[in-house]
Amino acid sequence: MTDGERDDHEFSSGQGFDEDYEEFTLDPPELKVDPTKVDPVDTRVLTDELDRRNVASDQVDVEQLVDVGLSYMQINRFEEATETFERAARFADEESLEAQEAWVNKGAAHAELEEWDEAIGAYREALRANEESEHAASAETNLAYALWNAGEIEAALHHAERAVEIDPRFPQAWYNRGFFLAERGLNEEAVNAFDNAIRLGMRTADVLEEKARALEELGEDEQAEEVQQQANELRQEREQEMLQQQQGQQRQPQERQQRR
């Protein structure tokens, strides 16, 4: 990235998926052990059981293996997650949706580790599997995010545009497209992109703040101030919700103890 570019932008993608985006928020099956205390799977056993020399491909449940990777993601074991997702992709049919989902998740795990070259490679593998599938828009927008972090701004915008072409109803793609347009000084187009993201349900403080910045660059100071105020209110509401959740969690053990 060049001097003057903001590095505090919080993207939607590869670093965690929106709750409404079903493809990548499937809850893994319940584990027999507490995953916060014990690894969801013994990686040495996993290696022994899934090595291609010992197990035929048709004996491996790729979907279950992806669930194991997602379990690793939940406890921030991202290195193990990348290895597990790659195994899932290798055992899946090369051009299948299962392979593509595994590659996209592998890229997301690398992104959590800020391993941008590896993330870019994983997303490109996902797109090589299928450029038009239901997962392709996520692969494109996450690839754009990784490219931006790697300093390839122009390429990032290209893939953000591609994500919107594949799925015009994908709000995260519009959000990232708007950010990249604003970075290039195309603020009017950026505002339109942010509006599309908001219309499609992504009305968050981050989107509103980016829209406010673009409006300010266009000289629309009054409207920019109004949108920034909306962003501040949303952020305060979210902080209050988090505080209430924390207080509720702190009370629960005391209440259970009193009932014994």
Q: Quick: pLDDT tens for 81-130.
A: 999 999 999 999 888 889 999 999 999 999 999 999 999 999 999 998 88
pLDDT at 227: 95
Quickly count: other Cβ atoms within 10 Å of residue 116's Cβ: 19
Q: Give the type of residue at 69.
A: G
Q: Give the type of residue at 117.
A: D
Is the distance from CB of 106 to CB of 127 less than 8 angstroms?
no
Percent helix, strand, coil in the chain, to 5, is 70, 0, 30
Least confident of 5-9, 16-20, 90-94, 250-254: 16-20
Q: Label residue 62 by pLDDT band (50, 70, 90).
A: confident
CA distance 114 to 60: 30
What pTM, to 2 d.p., does this model score? 0.67
Of residues 68, 62, 56, the one with CA closest to residue 97: 62
For residue 56, what are its two tokens?
Answer: 């035929």
Q: Label residue 58 by pLDDT band (50, 70, 90).
A: low
CA distance 177 to 195: 11
DSSP assignment letter at 28: P
Beta-carbon contacts of residue 123 (< 8 Å; ≥ 6 apart): 103, 104, 107, 139, 140, 142, 143, 146
pLDDT of 140-188, one tens digit each?
999 999 999 998 988 998 999 999 999 999 999 999 999 999 988 999 9
For residue 133, what are its two tokens?
Answer: 């599938």
Query: Burial code of 216-254, b = ≥16 C-beta within 10 A, e = fewer?
Result: bbeebeeebeebbebbeebeeeeeeeeeeeeeeeeeeee
E strand map for 71-205 = none
